[in-house]
Amino acid sequence: MTSSRAETLLRATGGGTFRSGLPRTALTALAPLAWGTTYVVTTELLPPGHPLFAGLLRALPAGLVALAVSRTLPRGAWWGKAAALGVLNIGLFFPLLFVAAERLPGGVAATLGAVQPLVVAVMAASLLRERLTVWRAVWGVTGVVGVGLMVIGPDAALDVVGIGAGLAGAVTMALGVTLTKRWGRPAGVTPMAFAGWQLSAGGLFLVPITFLVEGPPPVIDPRAALGYLWLGLVGGLAAYVLWFRGVVALPVTSVAILGLLSPLVAALLGAILLDQTLGPIELLGLGLSLAAIAAGQLPAPTRPRRTGAPLVPEGVTR
């Protein structure tokens, strides 16, 4: 095969796009890597019994900082769109996540969250007209199985309300991610401003819920202050800027499966810092999850073409 022919084939099968998108994919992956530290930060640094307050401090201060730095507010219809995205991606997602975490073992809650890439794939087919391929479905299921093997213990208990909250959280954020992809980012608006709109909207949505459910905020000692700063600056501001930037620029199903990195990081940090063990089953789950994440970034294999037929990339009509 000649060099030009090989380059044509690479572009047609998505290889050129995959290679050019690797740096942005790597930057986007930093977001779920940062979110994976939330469990150890919460258990080791933050006062117990105030998960919604932690979510509020993760969102609202970061959003206000982003707005102050970018000095850009929504215009026209984007007031409503930014509010909707902020509520879906943050304001509703955080309470549902914490309800699931409170009523279920952490492993079960993480596995329910791992369903999100599959939900995104289905929504992308209907809202974005992206093909729901067997490739995406198989690796999405593989990711869920991998996370389940890694984080669900033998004594896992099930709770109907917790399961409902976990699945609702996965659907809520999946819809937010899909709509973020569909609406894109307004021309001339930076990723910092775009993330600031959503973090601020989600944080403002959380204010009344937090104080109605949890009452007055806890006493914040130096350890808690360090934890809240990490969640706000790294897990909030930096992570969401990179995440929303990736959602707009990359295939939405590929971005969604990167979210599997979060429970994997949480499990690894638990093994390293909290003396939690990883046996053969957990290591098998780790391998399956990493394989699903890697495969999710690759273009789906194309069907063999007929001899002499023009080379047309999958999903492109003539």
Please report whether residue 229 resides in a domain: yes
Residues 231, 54 contacting (CB under 8 angstroms): yes
pLDDT band at residue 306 under the 50/70/90 scheme: low
How far is it, in rounded angstroms, from Cα 147 to Cα 101? Answer: 15
pLDDT band at residue 138 under the 50/70/90 scheme: confident
Please report whether residue 120 resides in a domain: yes
pLDDT at 303: 60
pLDDT at 318: 37
Please report whether residue 318 resides in a domain: no
Question: Residue 40 belongs to what domain range?
Answer: 33-296
Average pLDDT over residues 188-203: 95
How far is it, in rounded angstroms, from Cα 294 to Cα 242? Answer: 19
Residues 203, 63 contacting (CB under 8 angstroms): yes
Give the number of domains in the chain: 1
pLDDT at 28: 93
* Residue type at 85 in one-letter notation: L
* Residue 122 reports pLDDT greater than 90: no
pLDDT at 106: 58
Note the pLDDT tens digit of each residue in 47-75: 888 888 988 999 999 999 999 999 999 99
* Residue 313 reports pLDDT greater than 50: no
pLDDT at 245: 92
Please report whether residue 3 resides in a domain: no
Average pLDDT over residues 18-34: 83
* Residue 142 reports pLDDT greater than 80: yes
pLDDT at 265: 84
Closest CA to 236 of 41, 22, 23: 41
Q: What is the mean pLDDT of the chain?
A: 81
Please report whether residue 25 resides in a domain: no
Note the pLDDT tens digit of each residue in 218-261: 999 999 999 999 999 998 999 999 999 999 998 888 888 898 88
DSSP letter at 19 equals H
* Residue 15 reports pLDDT greater than 60: no
pLDDT at 222: 94
- The highest-confidence range among 31-35, 154-158, 306-310, by mean pLDDT, is 31-35
> Of all residues in the chain, what percent carry a pLDDT higher than 70?
81
**Cα 238–73–252 angle (5° rounding)?**
50
Note the pLDDT tens digit of each residue in 82-91: 999 999 999 9
Those residues whose C-beta lies under 8 Å from the C-beta of residue 71, and which sit 6 or more positions away, are: none
Please report whether residue 301 resides in a domain: no
How far is it, in rounded angstroms, from Cα 96 to Cα 114? Answer: 14
pLDDT band at residue 5 under the 50/70/90 scheme: very low
Please report whether residue 52 resides in a domain: yes
Average pLDDT over residues 22-41: 88
Q: Which residue has the higher pLDDT, 23 or 113?
A: 23
Note the pLDDT tens digit of each residue in 251-294: 888 888 898 888 888 778 877 776 767 778 878 888 888 888 88
Please report whether residue 152 resides in a domain: yes
Two tokens, residue 264: 């994997």
pLDDT at 14: 47
* Residue 134 reports pLDDT greater than 90: no
